[in-house]
Amino acid sequence: MLKRRSRWVALSALWLAAGVTGSAQSAPPAQWVGTWAASPMLALPGFSVRPFTGTTLRQIVHVSNGGEQLRVRFTNEFGTDPLTIGDAHVALSAGGAAIQQGTDHALTFGGAAQVRIAPGAAVFSDPVALAAPALSDLAISFYVPNQIVRAETYHSFADQDNFSADGDVAGAAVLAQPNTFASWYFLSGVEVPAVDGSRAIVALGDSITDGAHSTPDANRRWPDVLGLRLKQEPGLEHVSVLNEGIGGNRVLNENAGPSALSRFDRDVLAQDGVKYLIVLESINDIGRLAHPAGPEDDIDAAQLEFGLKQIADAAHAHGIKVYGATLTPYGGANYYSDQGEQMREEVNNWIRSSGVFDAVIDFDQVTRDPANPTRFNPAYDSGDHLHPGDDGYKAMGAGIDLKLFEK
C-alpha cells in the first residue's frame, strides 16, 4: 500500500510545483483539499468502452467545498495505452450541456495546453482562478484527439447526465445536439485551496454510497445529504465529502471495479486533506452467497471483518479517523439468502462492538423496518429491497452525528 501512496503523493507534489502562466491562472496554495472525487474503474470491452476519438467530453461534477482556485485530476489508471487530453476547460454549469457566461477558463498542464498521461498514471491540471461556490456544479470539458485507447478508465455510474460532441468544442457555451451518457470518463477529482478548518471525509462504499436509485442530476446520495448539512453547520462549513462508492463493489474480491482493499491507497490515502473515513462495504460480498460464481465467493463473517479491519488499521496508521457504517437491510433483494442475512447481522454486531472503529454510524438502525428488521422501512425502499430511494438516502445522511467531524 505504501508504495502506491508514494507514487500518488509524488505526482501531487510534481503538479503543485509546476509553473503556471496566463491570466486565468495564479500561484498554487500551500495546501489543497479534495472537493469532488470519483473512483476509477476499468471500462470493459463490449460493455462500457466508448470510442472517444476526435471528441469533446463535457462532464458535470457537484463540488463540496468552494474556492477561488481549483485544479482537476485526470486519470488513465486502467489504460493500456497513453491518453492525450487536449484543450481542457472548466466552467460553472448552466444546466445540461451549457456553461454559465463568463466563467469558462482553459486548463493547462505545466503551462501546456495538452497533456499525455501514461498508462496507470494520473495528473493534476495547473491551478486555475475560477471562483466556484460551495455545492456548485462544474462543467469540465476536454478534447480527446485521434488516438488509440484500447482500455478506458471511467467511473461507471455517475447518476449525472454528461455529454459528448464531435470535434474540439471544449470552449463552446453550449454543445449542440450532444450525445448523453451517465458515466465519468478520465476524471477522478477536483481540489480547491485549503483554508482554516478545511478537511475531507471519504465515503468508501458500494452502490448504496454511489447513489443507485436516487434521482439523477439531483445530488441526493447520502454523501450529498451529509455535505449539505455540513455547509449549514457553523464551524464545519469547510469540511468536504468525497464519494468513493462503486456499484457492485466488494471488500475482498474484484467485481464491478477494484475491491475496497485494492483501491484503498488510491481512493482514500491519496486524497488531499482527508481526515475522516466512513466505510460502508460488504453487502455485495454477502450477496454472492446466494449465487456463488466460484470458490472465492465462499466467505464467512470473520473474513469480512478481517478485511474491514485491514482498512481501518491502514487509515489509523495515517492519522485518519474511521467510522464503521452498519450494513442496511436487504430482505427481499434478488440475492438475499438466510445464510447471508445471518452473516450481515454478525458483521453489523462486530462493527458495533469490536472497538476497531472510532465510532459507529448505524445505517441499519436508521433504515430498517421496525416491524421487520431484515427489510427496509417501506418509506425508504427504492423498490428493489437493496437500495434506498431518495427518502432513504436523506434519512441516512441526516442520521450521521456531525460532532464526529469536529476537530
* Each residue's pLDDT tens digit, 104-148: 999 999 999 999 999 999 999 999 999 999 999 999 999 999 876
Integer Cα distance of 62 and 98 in angstroms: 15
Q: Among candidates 317, 255, 321, 261, which has minimal Cα distance to 284?
A: 255
Residue ranges, CATH 3.40.50.1110, the chain: 196-405
Enumerate the β-bridge partners of residue 240.
200
Return the CA Rg of the chain: 21
Residue 210 or residue 29, greater confidence: 210
Q: How much is the average pLDDT of 215-231?
A: 98
Integer Cα distance of 388 and 397 in angstroms: 12
Mean pLDDT score of the chain: 92
**Side chain identity, residue 255:** N
For residues 240 and 273, is the Cβ–Cβ distance under 8 A?
yes
Residue with cell 421496525: 370
* 107's grid cell: 486548463
Q: Among candidates 339, 340, 405, 341, which has minimal Cα distance to 368?
A: 341
Helices (H), 159-300: 207-210, 222-231, 260-264, 283-287
For residues 137 and 92, is the Cβ–Cβ distance under 8 A?
yes
Q: Among candidates 51, 386, 119, which has minimal Cα distance to 247?
A: 386
**Dihedrals phi, psi of 301, to nearest 5 degrees:** -60, -35
Predicted TM-score of the model (pTM): 0.93
pLDDT at residue 43, as a whole number:
84
Max Cα separation, the chain?
63
Concatenated DSSP letters of 264-324: HIIIIITSTTEEEEEEE--HHHHHTTTS--SGGG---HHHHHHHHHHHHHHHHHTT-EEEE
Integer Cα distance of 106 and 181 in angstroms: 23
Integer Cα distance of 67 and 200 in angstroms: 14
Residue 1 reports pLDDT greater than 70: no
Q: How many CB atoms lie within 10 A of CB 334?
A: 11
Q: Is residue 366 helix, strand or coil?
A: helix
Q: Mind listing the pLDDT tens digit for each residue in 310-363? A: 999 999 999 999 999 999 999 999 999 999 999 999 999 999 999 999 999 999
Q: Is residue 240 helix, strand or coil?
A: strand
Which CATH fold would you assign to the domain 196-405?
Rossmann fold (3.40.50)
